[in-house]
Structure 1
Amino acid sequence: MKPQNISEPPVENHDTDDSKPSFWHIVISTLAAAFGVQSNKNRERDFKHGHIGPYIAAGIIFTLLFIAVVATIVTTVLKAKGL
């Protein structure tokens, strides 16, 4: 076991907490927010290190994809029933 130098503070691992959110963090935060299950830790990370632009863009893209998927499902069901 390596002795710790008392004059040096312990090194803490904050690789994701102190950096700006990555593309996947934004995607996961957007999906979590859409379902209402965003953790407090992730919400704080998003507000502390993220800019609003990528989150707005991700929200708009998610909303458009959601509408397209629902419209496609409804259209497919209506065609299958012959309506």
Structure 2
Amino acid sequence: QYYSDNGKSRFTSYLEAHGIEHITGSIVKPTTQGKIERFFQTFELYYPRFNDMERFREYYNNKPHRSLNYKTPAQAYLN
């Protein structure tokens, strides 16, 4: 599955051709994009401190998140 805003039809065709379900958010309800919007906010705040995608990824995936009851993403999704 691939979740996005209402993307381009050409990209949707690509996803379908590869057996990937494209789920789009509601046009009138921007809160459906809340998780990715929050991630982008975090990315914009912290990425400049690392200036390296791998280091940022390590930081992000190993820090407790309030939305995950203060578990790390690894703890929440792998356990």
TM exceeding 0.5: no
Q: Greater relative contact order: 1 or 2 (C-alpha under 8 angstroms, separation 6 or more)?
A: 1
Structure (1 or 2) with the larger CA radius of gyration:
1
